[in-house]
Amino acid sequence: MKAFVFPGQGAQFSGMGKALYEESPLAREWFEKADELLGFRITDIMFEGTDEDLRQTKVTQPAIFLHSIILAKTLGEQFRPEMVAGHSLGEFSALVAARALSFEDGLQLVYKRALAMQKAGEINEGTMAAILNLPDETVEKICAGIDGVVVPANYNCPGQVVISGSIAGIDRACELLLASGAKRALKLKVGGAFHSPLMEPAREELRKAIDAVSFQAPDCPVYQNVSTQGETNPERIKTNLIAQLTAPVKWTQSVQNMIAGGADDFTELGPGSVLQGLIKKINPNVQMQGIS
Protein backbone atom coordinates (compact mmCIF):
# COMPACT_ATOMS: atom_id res chain seq x y z
CA MET A 1 0.00 0.00 0.00
CA LYS A 2 1.12 3.52 -0.82
CA ALA A 3 1.75 5.91 2.09
CA PHE A 4 2.76 9.57 1.92
CA VAL A 5 4.50 11.25 4.86
CA PHE A 6 5.18 14.92 5.58
CA PRO A 7 8.11 16.42 7.53
CA GLY A 8 8.01 18.77 10.51
CA GLN A 9 10.04 21.65 11.87
CA GLY A 10 13.78 21.33 11.30
CA ALA A 11 13.55 20.26 7.63
CA GLN A 12 13.70 23.86 6.33
CA PHE A 13 16.60 25.26 4.28
CA SER A 14 17.27 28.49 2.41
CA GLY A 15 16.04 28.17 -1.17
CA MET A 16 13.33 25.66 -0.29
CA GLY A 17 10.58 25.52 -2.91
CA LYS A 18 12.36 27.90 -5.29
CA ALA A 19 12.87 25.38 -8.12
CA LEU A 20 9.26 24.27 -7.74
CA TYR A 21 8.08 27.89 -8.03
CA GLU A 22 10.22 28.54 -11.11
CA GLU A 23 9.42 25.31 -12.96
CA SER A 24 5.69 24.87 -12.31
CA PRO A 25 3.07 27.52 -13.15
CA LEU A 26 0.62 25.64 -10.91
CA ALA A 27 3.05 25.78 -7.97
CA ARG A 28 3.61 29.50 -8.60
CA GLU A 29 -0.15 30.08 -8.35
CA TRP A 30 -0.35 28.32 -4.99
CA PHE A 31 2.74 30.06 -3.57
CA GLU A 32 1.37 33.47 -4.57
CA LYS A 33 -2.00 32.59 -3.08
CA ALA A 34 -0.21 31.78 0.18
CA ASP A 35 1.59 35.15 0.17
CA GLU A 36 -1.80 36.81 -0.22
CA LEU A 37 -3.46 34.76 2.55
CA LEU A 38 -0.63 35.36 5.03
CA GLY A 39 -0.33 39.07 4.25
CA PHE A 40 3.43 38.92 3.70
CA ARG A 41 5.74 37.38 1.11
CA ILE A 42 6.78 34.16 2.79
CA THR A 43 8.12 33.05 -0.60
CA ASP A 44 10.87 35.71 -0.39
CA ILE A 45 12.01 34.28 2.96
CA MET A 46 11.82 30.69 1.70
CA PHE A 47 13.77 31.39 -1.48
CA GLU A 48 16.28 34.01 -0.29
CA GLY A 49 16.14 34.14 3.53
CA THR A 50 19.02 33.26 5.84
CA ASP A 51 19.01 30.16 8.04
CA GLU A 52 18.23 32.48 10.96
CA ASP A 53 15.23 33.96 9.12
CA LEU A 54 13.89 30.47 8.43
CA ARG A 55 14.42 29.31 12.01
CA GLN A 56 11.71 31.62 13.35
CA THR A 57 8.80 29.35 14.27
CA LYS A 58 6.28 31.71 12.64
CA VAL A 59 8.17 31.32 9.33
CA THR A 60 9.40 27.74 9.59
CA GLN A 61 6.04 26.07 10.08
CA PRO A 62 4.07 27.68 7.22
CA ALA A 63 7.13 27.39 4.93
CA ILE A 64 7.43 23.63 5.41
CA PHE A 65 3.66 23.19 5.16
CA LEU A 66 3.59 25.10 1.85
CA HIS A 67 6.52 23.21 0.35
CA SER A 68 4.87 19.88 1.22
CA ILE A 69 1.32 20.68 0.14
CA ILE A 70 2.25 22.43 -3.11
CA LEU A 71 4.39 19.41 -4.05
CA ALA A 72 1.36 17.18 -3.48
CA LYS A 73 -0.80 19.44 -5.65
CA THR A 74 1.71 19.44 -8.53
CA LEU A 75 1.84 15.62 -8.53
CA GLY A 76 -1.74 15.46 -9.82
CA GLU A 77 -2.82 11.84 -10.43
CA GLN A 78 0.49 10.56 -9.06
CA PHE A 79 -0.69 11.62 -5.60
CA ARG A 80 -3.02 8.77 -4.67
CA PRO A 81 -2.33 7.93 -1.02
CA GLU A 82 -3.86 4.95 0.72
CA MET A 83 -2.72 6.38 4.06
CA VAL A 84 -0.88 9.51 5.22
CA ALA A 85 0.98 10.78 8.28
CA GLY A 86 3.02 13.82 9.27
CA HIS A 87 5.62 14.48 11.94
CA SER A 88 4.30 17.16 14.34
CA LEU A 89 3.66 20.17 12.04
CA GLY A 90 3.59 17.68 9.14
CA GLU A 91 0.29 16.33 10.47
CA PHE A 92 -1.40 19.51 9.18
CA SER A 93 0.16 18.88 5.75
CA ALA A 94 -1.14 15.30 5.86
CA LEU A 95 -4.66 16.47 6.75
CA VAL A 96 -4.78 19.00 3.91
CA ALA A 97 -3.28 16.49 1.45
CA ALA A 98 -6.00 13.99 2.45
CA ARG A 99 -8.65 16.73 2.07
CA ALA A 100 -9.78 16.70 5.68
CA LEU A 101 -8.93 20.43 5.68
CA SER A 102 -8.92 23.04 2.92
CA PHE A 103 -5.62 24.61 1.86
CA GLU A 104 -6.77 28.00 3.16
CA ASP A 105 -7.86 26.70 6.58
CA GLY A 106 -4.76 24.52 6.89
CA LEU A 107 -2.41 27.42 6.18
CA GLN A 108 -4.19 29.74 8.61
CA LEU A 109 -4.15 27.07 11.35
CA VAL A 110 -0.46 26.38 10.79
CA TYR A 111 0.35 30.09 11.02
CA LYS A 112 -1.77 30.58 14.16
CA ARG A 113 -0.17 27.48 15.70
CA ALA A 114 3.30 28.80 14.92
CA LEU A 115 2.57 32.21 16.46
CA ALA A 116 1.03 30.58 19.54
CA MET A 117 4.01 28.23 19.98
CA GLN A 118 6.49 31.09 19.58
CA LYS A 119 4.59 33.11 22.21
CA ALA A 120 4.36 30.14 24.59
CA GLY A 121 8.12 29.68 24.24
CA GLU A 122 8.59 33.27 25.40
CA ILE A 123 6.16 32.85 28.34
CA ASN A 124 7.58 29.49 29.48
CA GLU A 125 11.24 29.38 28.48
CA GLY A 126 12.40 25.90 27.56
CA THR A 127 14.36 23.78 25.13
CA MET A 128 14.74 20.29 23.65
CA ALA A 129 17.52 17.70 23.27
CA ALA A 130 18.00 14.62 21.09
CA ILE A 131 19.03 11.48 22.98
CA LEU A 132 20.73 8.74 20.97
CA ASN A 133 21.19 5.02 21.65
CA LEU A 134 19.19 4.51 24.80
CA PRO A 135 16.03 2.42 25.23
CA ASP A 136 12.84 4.50 25.38
CA GLU A 137 12.11 3.14 28.86
CA THR A 138 15.44 4.43 30.23
CA VAL A 139 14.80 7.90 28.82
CA GLU A 140 11.27 7.91 30.28
CA LYS A 141 12.46 6.80 33.72
CA ILE A 142 15.20 9.43 33.97
CA CYS A 143 12.90 12.21 32.76
CA ALA A 144 10.28 11.21 35.35
CA GLY A 145 12.82 11.48 38.16
CA ILE A 146 13.85 15.09 37.46
CA ASP A 147 12.32 18.03 39.32
CA GLY A 148 10.41 20.37 37.02
CA VAL A 149 9.17 19.75 33.49
CA VAL A 150 11.17 17.22 31.44
CA VAL A 151 9.31 14.79 29.17
CA PRO A 152 9.90 12.62 26.08
CA ALA A 153 8.62 14.74 23.18
CA ASN A 154 9.44 12.84 19.97
CA TYR A 155 9.78 9.08 19.61
CA ASN A 156 11.55 9.36 16.24
CA CYS A 157 12.90 5.84 15.73
CA PRO A 158 14.40 3.09 17.91
CA GLY A 159 17.33 4.64 19.77
CA GLN A 160 16.35 8.26 19.05
CA VAL A 161 14.11 10.14 21.46
CA VAL A 162 13.86 13.93 21.76
CA ILE A 163 13.17 15.29 25.24
CA SER A 164 11.57 18.65 26.04
CA GLY A 165 11.27 20.85 29.11
CA SER A 166 12.80 23.63 31.19
CA ILE A 167 16.38 24.62 30.37
CA ALA A 168 17.71 23.56 33.80
CA GLY A 169 15.74 20.31 33.61
CA ILE A 170 17.02 19.45 30.13
CA ASP A 171 20.61 20.20 31.18
CA ARG A 172 20.27 17.86 34.17
CA ALA A 173 18.56 15.18 32.08
CA CYS A 174 21.36 15.28 29.50
CA GLU A 175 23.96 14.72 32.23
CA LEU A 176 22.07 11.75 33.64
CA LEU A 177 21.29 10.23 30.26
CA LEU A 178 24.93 10.42 29.16
CA ALA A 179 25.93 8.81 32.46
CA SER A 180 23.41 6.05 31.73
CA GLY A 181 25.02 5.22 28.39
CA ALA A 182 23.51 7.57 25.82
CA LYS A 183 25.81 7.93 22.81
CA ARG A 184 24.85 11.60 22.50
CA ALA A 185 22.61 14.15 24.23
CA LEU A 186 22.42 17.04 21.80
CA LYS A 187 20.57 20.23 22.70
CA LEU A 188 18.53 21.56 19.77
CA LYS A 189 18.21 25.12 18.48
CA VAL A 190 14.48 25.56 19.01
CA GLY A 191 12.24 28.36 20.23
CA GLY A 192 10.64 26.49 23.10
CA ALA A 193 9.84 23.22 24.85
CA PHE A 194 7.60 21.86 22.10
CA HIS A 195 5.33 18.87 22.86
CA SER A 196 5.61 19.40 26.60
CA PRO A 197 3.30 20.88 29.27
CA LEU A 198 5.13 24.20 28.78
CA MET A 199 3.18 24.57 25.52
CA GLU A 200 -0.16 24.74 27.39
CA PRO A 201 -0.78 28.45 26.53
CA ALA A 202 -0.40 27.60 22.82
CA ARG A 203 -2.70 24.57 23.10
CA GLU A 204 -5.58 26.71 24.34
CA GLU A 205 -5.11 29.22 21.48
CA LEU A 206 -4.94 26.40 18.94
CA ARG A 207 -8.08 24.79 20.35
CA LYS A 208 -10.07 27.98 19.68
CA ALA A 209 -8.69 28.21 16.13
CA ILE A 210 -9.41 24.54 15.37
CA ASP A 211 -12.94 24.75 16.78
CA ALA A 212 -13.67 27.60 14.36
CA VAL A 213 -12.68 25.55 11.28
CA SER A 214 -14.60 22.90 9.33
CA PHE A 215 -13.02 19.44 9.14
CA GLN A 216 -14.19 16.74 6.70
CA ALA A 217 -13.65 12.98 6.66
CA PRO A 218 -10.27 12.47 4.91
CA ASP A 219 -9.89 10.58 1.64
CA CYS A 220 -7.75 7.98 3.42
CA PRO A 221 -6.74 7.20 7.03
CA VAL A 222 -4.50 9.81 8.68
CA TYR A 223 -2.14 8.23 11.22
CA GLN A 224 -1.93 10.83 13.97
CA ASN A 225 0.98 11.50 16.31
CA VAL A 226 -1.10 11.23 19.49
CA SER A 227 -3.21 8.12 18.83
CA THR A 228 -0.77 6.41 16.36
CA GLN A 229 -3.87 5.04 14.62
CA GLY A 230 -5.38 5.64 11.18
CA GLU A 231 -8.10 8.20 11.92
CA THR A 232 -11.03 9.11 9.67
CA ASN A 233 -13.51 10.67 12.13
CA PRO A 234 -13.31 14.49 11.95
CA GLU A 235 -14.05 14.98 15.66
CA ARG A 236 -11.35 12.52 16.73
CA ILE A 237 -8.92 14.15 14.31
CA LYS A 238 -9.59 17.57 15.87
CA THR A 239 -9.21 16.25 19.43
CA ASN A 240 -5.88 14.59 18.59
CA LEU A 241 -4.63 17.68 16.77
CA ILE A 242 -5.26 19.88 19.82
CA ALA A 243 -3.69 17.34 22.21
CA GLN A 244 -0.60 17.07 19.99
CA LEU A 245 0.89 20.39 21.16
CA THR A 246 1.51 19.16 24.70
CA ALA A 247 1.77 15.40 23.97
CA PRO A 248 4.67 13.41 22.52
CA VAL A 249 5.00 12.76 18.78
CA LYS A 250 4.83 8.96 18.60
CA TRP A 251 6.40 8.65 15.17
CA THR A 252 7.98 5.22 15.69
CA GLN A 253 4.68 3.74 16.81
CA SER A 254 2.72 5.47 14.02
CA VAL A 255 5.00 4.11 11.29
CA GLN A 256 4.91 0.63 12.84
CA ASN A 257 1.10 0.77 12.78
CA MET A 258 1.07 1.98 9.17
CA ILE A 259 3.26 -0.98 8.17
CA ALA A 260 1.04 -3.35 10.18
CA GLY A 261 -1.91 -1.83 8.29
CA GLY A 262 -0.32 -2.72 4.93
CA ALA A 263 1.97 0.22 4.05
CA ASP A 264 5.05 -1.00 2.16
CA ASP A 265 5.81 1.98 -0.09
CA PHE A 266 6.51 5.35 1.61
CA THR A 267 7.05 8.70 -0.13
CA GLU A 268 8.20 11.76 1.82
CA LEU A 269 6.85 15.03 0.38
CA GLY A 270 8.58 18.24 1.44
CA PRO A 271 12.00 19.67 2.21
CA GLY A 272 14.82 17.36 3.30
CA SER A 273 14.92 13.60 3.85
CA VAL A 274 14.68 13.26 7.64
CA LEU A 275 11.60 11.01 7.61
CA GLN A 276 13.12 8.68 5.02
CA GLY A 277 16.03 8.07 7.36
CA LEU A 278 13.79 7.52 10.38
CA ILE A 279 11.48 5.09 8.54
CA LYS A 280 14.46 3.06 7.30
CA LYS A 281 15.59 2.72 10.93
CA ILE A 282 12.09 1.70 12.02
CA ASN A 283 11.82 -0.92 9.26
CA PRO A 284 14.57 -1.31 6.63
CA ASN A 285 12.40 -3.58 4.47
CA VAL A 286 9.91 -0.99 3.22
CA GLN A 287 10.33 0.94 -0.03
CA MET A 288 11.17 4.60 0.64
CA GLN A 289 11.67 7.65 -1.57
CA GLY A 290 11.38 11.41 -1.31
CA ILE A 291 10.14 14.23 -3.53
CA SER A 292 11.38 17.71 -2.70
Ranges of H-type helices in 184-265: 200-211, 234-243, 251-260
Among 166, 195, 227, 292, which one carries the catalytic annotation?
195
Ranges of H-type helices in 85-166: 90-97, 103-123, 136-144
Total number of residues shown for the chain? 292
Amino acid at 23: E
Amino acid at 181: G
CA distances to 87, 161, 269, 277, 279 from 114, rounded to whole Å, are: 15, 23, 20, 25, 26
Annotated catalytic residue 88: yes
Among 68, 88, 196, 254, which one carries the catalytic annotation?
88
Q: Please name the residues in contact with 56: beta carbons below 8 A apart, sequence gap of 6 or more.
A: 118, 191
Sheet strands (E) in the chain: 2-6, 83-86, 127-132, 150-157, 160-165, 184-187, 222-223, 230-231, 265-269, 287-291
Annotated catalytic residue 87: no
* Coil, helix or strand at residue 202: helix
Give the catalytic positions in this structure.
88, 195
